[in-house]
Each structure stands twice: as structure tokens, then as C-alpha cells.
Amino acid sequence: MGKMWAGRFQKEADSKVNDFNSSISFDGRMYKQDIFGSIAHATMLGKQGIIPKEDADKIIEGLNGILADLTSGALQFDMEAEDIHMFVEAELTTRIGDAGKRLHTARSRNDQVALDIRLYLRDEIAEIQGLLKKFIETVCKMAEDNLETIMPGYTHLQRAQPITFAHHLMAYANMFLRDLGRLSDTNKRMNYCPLGSGALAGTTYPIDREMTASLLGFDGPMLNSLDGVSDRDFCIELCSAIATIMMHLSRLSEEIILWCSWEFKFMELDDAFATGSSIMPQKKNPDVAELVRGKTGRVYGDLVTLLSMMKSLPLAYNKDMQEDKEAIFDAVDTVKLCLVTFDPMLATAKVLPDNMRAAAAKGFINATDCADYLTKKGVPFRDAYKITGTLVARCIELNCTMETLPLKEYQKLSDVFAEDVYDAINLKTCAFTRNCIGGPAKERVSEQIAAVNAALTAF
């Protein structure tokens, strides 16, 4: 295909340059957005009398035909084309002749590509939000079923204090809820239209930027034409939001991997979401969770690619910026793939409450409650802490738990101890009496579930 910019040149581009320069292999996926943008632009050009109304109509009809043919597969991309913008315009001109050559009036590929990516990512954000919302519902549902499932809460991966599995899950639900918000925030800032910025300095034609912005569902036109064509902060912001989702998913993945080990056995994955080993017949591996954990690094890489690519670029457009697409598309594809697979894996996993309970019984996770018991009876907390530490040491010596340590051992250290200490250090009591806002008490976790579900309705 002859180059559209051939007039200035006396030679064809070297074929290596052609291949090197070409982006159609990865920007072809924006063909719908490219066509919608061109339809809005042509509509505006026709209405403003910048091109004849009949030409605008022909362009729109031609573009709709290309859209239908690309969607049905009747038309394939020409891989020789420099990018999706050149391809659509050339195809249009082949189909409708001279009118097609008028489409690019008062426009540059610089504002065109800045528009297409925004339109494309706007749809992707909505899709990721849909998947994330569904996933949060899965987490809430699982929490609902585990309000009384006692498990050890950890710090430093050491058993720390008793909580419930529902409480643990709702920590994640809140993280993913903030992720949903971050996606909306990105969209709010991104949703301004760069079309009409031209190559960098706008245009002398009497274009109506408000009109194209509103036809394309934007909140308004971008207010500086250089900015319109030269920033990719919205890609960086979205990639950062996606990297944060992945970071959260990787933490949950890591925990699931631990929970599925024989060392923990808090959970068993459904056979459909686990894999075997080619040599070890006993193995049931949590590959999905491991891959999500691994792919998190890949998305961080995409974010670093975007930040590094934009660093120090002078205004306005530079070809470096063509590198934005593969990175942000990879981040978008990866997070969607992870959510689609992770959600049913979690939903079908079998929780093993007895094992969680058994783990909670070891590790003296009720020691804080024992100290609190003394404190509530008037012993200063620091003294209570020391007495309890000594009791724990005694338990280790006697190879028993705080629940099975005889009362006389308690009373050797403080005469404040009475029979009711066993109530105070009962694991259920320990978890369920932590009923401050945000705590593991059943009614508090139920409130958390209700609050998250209510917040979801805003998305």
C-alpha cells in the first residue's frame, strides 16, 4: 500500500522501517473506537460546513460498512498498513473515493490516537469494574457463610489473635472496593476529549469540539491542544490502578497457596481449579493462584514500561508514545484474565473450619485476652502482659495450651485469676467480643458485608 505521506518523499520506506514503524498488529484492536471517532468527526465536519454534507454522509455510510465487515471478518487488516488509523482511512477511500479523502480535514493522527485509546480504555474500565464487582460479591458471599469460622489471625506469619474467616475475607473485600473506586477515579479524569487538538496546535477550521466531545460521551473537550495529544497519564493511572488490583490479588493468592498446603490445610481447591504433577501422584497444585501471583510482576512491568517511556519526553507527540499500547493492553488483558479465573476458583474452594479452629487452638493466640482479663480486674496492662508472658512460658514447659493450663498455675502468678478466666480465653469469646467497629464480632462483620454490598450499588 502506498504511503499517505508519500508526497514529501522520493523513496519508499525501507521494508525494515515499515515493519519497525507499524503498529497495526497491536492497535488493530481499536478499530471500533477509531471508526466511532471518525464518524463523530465527519458528522461535525458536515454540520459545520467544513466538508459538504453529502460527503459527510458518504463517509459515515462507508465507515459503518467497514465496521460491519471488520466485525464479521469479511474484511481483514492489511498488515502493511502503518496503523489502524491509516488502514481505515485508506479502506474508506478505496470504497467511496474522493469523499474519503476529506475525512482527515482538521484532524491529525495525534489527536486521533489520543482519542482512540481513551475510548478503548473507557470500555475496558467498565469491563474490569464488572468483573471486580462480581468478584467482591463472591468474597462477601463466602464471608456470609463463615461468620463463625474461627481462624488464627497472623502478624509476621505467626499466629497472633483469633479472628474469623469472614473477618479475614472482608479485609480483602474492602481492598477490592477501593480498587473499584480507583478505576472510577481514573475514568473521571480520563473522560475528556482530545479530538480537535490536531497535530498539536489545534486548527484554523471552525470545528465544534463541544459537539464531538458530547457525541462520543465525554464530559467535555480537553482544554489545551498540546496536552490533548501529548500526555498518556491516563494510561499510567489506569495501569497503576490495575497493578494495585494485582497486588491485592497476589496477596490473596499467596494466602490461598499457604492455606492449601498440608502445613495449613485451611482450604481445598475444587479439582477443576487445581492441577496435578507429571511425576508426583499425590500432588494437587494451586497453579491458578500461583499464576496470578506471577502475573502481578508482569503488570508491574507494564507500569514501569509506561512511566519510563513517558519520562523526559518533550512536548508534544513523539513516536515513543506508540509503545503505550502494548503495555496498557497487556495490563488490561492480564487483570481480566486473572479475575475471570480467580473468581470461580475462590467460589468453589472448600473451607475447612475444623483445621482453622485447630490451628487457632495452638500458638497462644488468646494471650492478649488473658492479659485483658487481668486488666479488666484492675491489674495495670504492663503487669498483666508480663504475667501472661510467664504463663505462656509455663504452658510451653508443660506442653499444654492456655485453655488446659490448670487454674492453680494461673493463681501462682496472680490471685486475681478465677475460674472465669477460661471463659475469657475461649477462642469464640475472644473473637466475638472484639466488637468495636471493624472487629471480628459476628454482628460487626455482618455490618461490614452490608456496607460493602451497599457501596457496590454505586458501581
For ligand ARG, the binding residues (CB under 6 A) are 23, 27, 83, 109-110, 113, 317, 319, 321-322
CB nearer ligand ARG, residue 120 or residue 172:
120
What's the min distance (Å) between Cβ of 322 and ligand ARG? 4
CB nearer ligand ARG, residue 199 or residue 347:
199
What's the min distance (Å) between Cβ of 112 and ligand ARG? 7
CB nearer ligand ARG, residue 83 or residue 231:
83
Considering the candidates 15, 156, 278, 312, report the single residue annotated as catalytic: 156
CB nearer ligand ARG, residue 269 or residue 321:
321
Catalytic-residue membership of 277? yes
Considering the candidates 277, 278, 312, 446, report the single residue annotated as catalytic: 277
CB nearer ligand ARG, residue 322 or residue 355:
322
CB nearer ligand ARG, residue 120 or residue 135:
120
What's the min distance (Å) between Cβ of 37 and ligand ARG? 13
What's the min distance (Å) between Cβ of 24 and ligand ARG? 8
Three-state SS letters, the chain? CCCCCHHHCCCCCCHHHHHHHCCHHHHHHHHHHHHHHHHHHHHHHHHCCCCCHHHHHHHHHHHHHHHHHHHHCCCCCCCCCCCHHHHHHHHHHHHHCHHHHCCCCCCCHHHHHHHHHHHHHHHHHHHHHHHHHHHHHHHHHHHHCCCCCEEEEEECCEEEEEEEHHHHHHHHHHHHHHHHHHHHHHHHHHCCECCCCCCCCCCCCCCCHHHHHHHCCCCCECCCHHHHHHCCHHHHHHHHHHHHHHHHHHHHHHHHHHHCCCCCCCEECCHHHCECCCCCCCCCECHHHHHHHHHHHHHHHHHHHHHHHHCCCCCCCCHHHHHHHHHHHHHHHHHHHHHHHHHHHHHHCEECHHHHHHHHHCCCCCHHHHHHHHHHCCCCHHHHHHHHHHHHHHHHHHCCCCCCCCHHHHHHHCCCCCCCHHHHCCHHHHHHCCCCCCCCCHHHHHHHHHHHHHHHCCC
What's the min distance (Å) between Cβ of 36 and ligand ARG? 17
Catalytic-residue membership of 414? no
What's the min distance (Å) between Cβ of 2 and ligand ARG? 17
Enzyme catalytic residues: 156, 277
